[in-house]
Amino acid sequence: MPQTCLYRETFEGRLHALDGFLESMKGTMKHLTITYLPGDQMERFSKLVFPNMRVLDYMADETDDWVNDSDIKIIVDCFPHLESLKLTGMSKGNNIYQMRNIRHLDIAQCWNLSVACIENVCEHLRLRVLCVQWRRSEEKAYVGAISKLNELEELEVEVVQQESIPQLMRLPKLRKLRIITNHECELVRDIAVLRGKDIISASFNDSIWLWTTKTWMPCRNLRNLTIINDEGCSWVKFRRVILCFPLLEQVHLENSRIFDTADELWDLVSICPHLKRLAMSHCILYNVFFKFDAARMGAVLDKRTQPLLLQCFKTSADDLVLQLFKHPKLKIFFEALEYSPVAPEAIELEFLPLEA
Give residue 60's pLDDT band: very low, low, confident or very high (50, 70, 90): confident
Instruction: For residue 309, tell me if it sits in a domain.
Output: yes
CATH assignment at residue 315: 3.80.10
Instruction: For residue 122, tell me if it sits in a domain.
Output: no
Give residue 276's pLDDT band: very low, low, confident or very high (50, 70, 90): very high
Instruction: For residue 150, tell me if it sits in a domain.
Output: no
Instruction: For residue 169, tell me if it sits in a domain.
Output: no
Averaged confidence pLDDT in the chain: 92
Cα Rg for the chain, rounded, in angstroms?
A: 24
Contact, 185 vs 165, CB < 8 A? no
Which segment, 9-18, 28-37, 118-127, 154-163, is predicted with the most confidence on average?
Answer: 118-127
Which segment, 32-46, 101-115, 230-244, 297-311, is predicted with the most confidence on average?
Answer: 297-311
Q: How many domains does the chain have?
A: 1
Instruction: For residue 66, tell me if it sits in a domain.
Output: no
Instruction: For residue 98, tell me if it sits in a domain.
Output: no
Give residue 65's pLDDT band: very low, low, confident or very high (50, 70, 90): low
Q: 194-213: string of b/e by CB count within 10 Å (b at 16+)? A: ebbebbbbbbbbbbbbbbee
Give residue 2's pLDDT band: very low, low, confident or very high (50, 70, 90): low
**Domain span including residue 296:** 183-356
Q: What is the mean pLDDT of residues 205-219?
A: 87
Contact, 174 vs 152, CB < 8 A? yes
HSE-up of residue 86 (Cα within 13 Å, Cβ side):
10
Q: Does residue 1 have a pLDDT over 80?
A: no
Q: Does residue 85 have a pLDDT over 70?
A: yes
Q: What is the mean pLDDT of residues 287-316?
A: 95
Q: Does residue 292 have a pLDDT over 70?
A: yes
Instruction: For residue 354, tell me if it sits in a domain.
Output: yes
Instruction: For residue 58, tell me if it sits in a domain.
Output: no
Task: Give the model confidence (pLDDT) of 106-121 as tens digits.
Answer: 999 988 888 999 999 9
Contact, 286 vs 313, CB < 8 A? no
Q: What is the mean pLDDT of residues 271-291?
A: 95
Q: Does residue 76 have a pLDDT over 90?
A: yes
Q: What pLDDT, on a 0 to 100 scale, did the predictor assign at position 356?
A: 75
